[in-house]
Amino acid sequence: MYTKRKCIAVSVNERALVRFAGPEDLEWCVVGDIHVTEKVVRNKIVNDECIVVELDGRLIAYIRLEYLWSTVPYIGLIFVLEEYQNEGIGRKMIDFLEKYLRANGYDTLMSSSQVNEPQPQAWHRAVGFEECGIISGLNEGGIGEVFFRKRLT
């Protein structure tokens, strides 16, 4: 007798594993993060300041964490491979990061986006960040930077 197999759709978000980057992830993180040196990324991996998302054994997303004034957590870079954008991967990384920061006594997370980038700004607002200021002319070509804050309490 033939039995139909049930097919259950599972979203990318549900299958994705968020974790701190390890030494085995160094090369992938360095290639994806052109803003800092390999040495910087290596140190950040050692200090649990790089978060990656793995899907079916493949890395698909990355956060590099910074600390303003050595005390305020700040997302220095976040990216998700284009084919996995709009799947909830960024939100999943933020949730992971927030839990980690709360457990370590932090009550605020900062981030930013260039003023000419409406999509990243909309994403920040969608995941709970609030605009908290602009620095004019900060980037190449005189482009300003919009800063965002998310309260973790």
- Banded pLDDT at 153 (limits 50, 70, 90): confident
CA 79 to chain centre: 6
The predicted pLDDT at position 93 comes to 96
Q: What is the DSSP string of 104-118?
A: TT--EEEEEEETT-H
CA-closest candidate to residue 97, choices 135, 48, 40, 35: 48
Reported as a single tens digit per residue, the pLDDT across 89-144 is 999 999 999 999 999 999 999 999 999 999 999 999 999 999 999 999 999 999 99
Q: What is the mean pLDDT of the chain?
A: 91
Q: Indicate the DSSP class of residue 82.
A: G
